[in-house]
Amino acid sequence: MREKYVLDANIPSLYFAGNNYVKKYIDEIYEGKAEAYMLEINLAELLYHYARAFGWRSALVKNSLIRNSPIKIISMDEELTLEAAKLKMKYYQALSLADCYLIAFAKLHKAKIVTSDHVLKEINEVPVILVPYK
């Protein structure tokens, strides 16, 4: 059975920056050894941060690269929204709403979160693969 990964916003950023730890997971996705998902809200986070650092045109290029990759982009639906809202109530100070959606998707689809965010690992709701920034 193939691994299922849900990617946090920081993972494509680290990949574009040449992070070798992230490359391993992206290679698995391109080789068909793993399925990968990214939520629209987490993609918006990535684009916002990327545009602030490199400009809007560069962010649009990255958006196109991600949308044309094997990573499946997920829109929100009622089931996902309800689960994210429950998580936000439980962790209202520790997690952003985007992180709650990320965890909710992982829970509902039995996926592992790939992130560099230590807080997601500490929440202990779903399996989390923590990758270093280096």
Span 32-90, pLDDT tens digits:
999 999 999 999 999 999 999 999 999 999 999 999 999 999 999 999 999 999 999 99
List pLDDT tens digits, range 79-134. 999 999 999 999 988 999 999 999 999 999 999 999 999 999 999 899 999 999 76
Do 67 and 37 form a contact (C-beta atoms < 8 A)?
A: no
* 20 CB neighbour count, 10 Å cutoff: 11
Q: Check the CA dihedral 72-86-100-124 and report its sign.
A: negative
CA neighbours within 13 Å on the CB side: how many for 20?
A: 1
Q: What pTM value is reported for the model? A: 0.94
* CA distances to 38, 53, 112 from 87, in Å: 18, 30, 17
For 109, which DSSP code? Answer: H
CA neighbours within 13 Å on the CB side: how many for 58?
A: 11
Q: Which domains does the chain have, with CATH numbers?
A: 3-74+111-130 (3.40.50.1010)
Q: Which pLDDT score, from 0 to 100, does residue 133 have? A: 78
Q: Which pLDDT score, from 0 to 100, does residue 88 have? A: 97
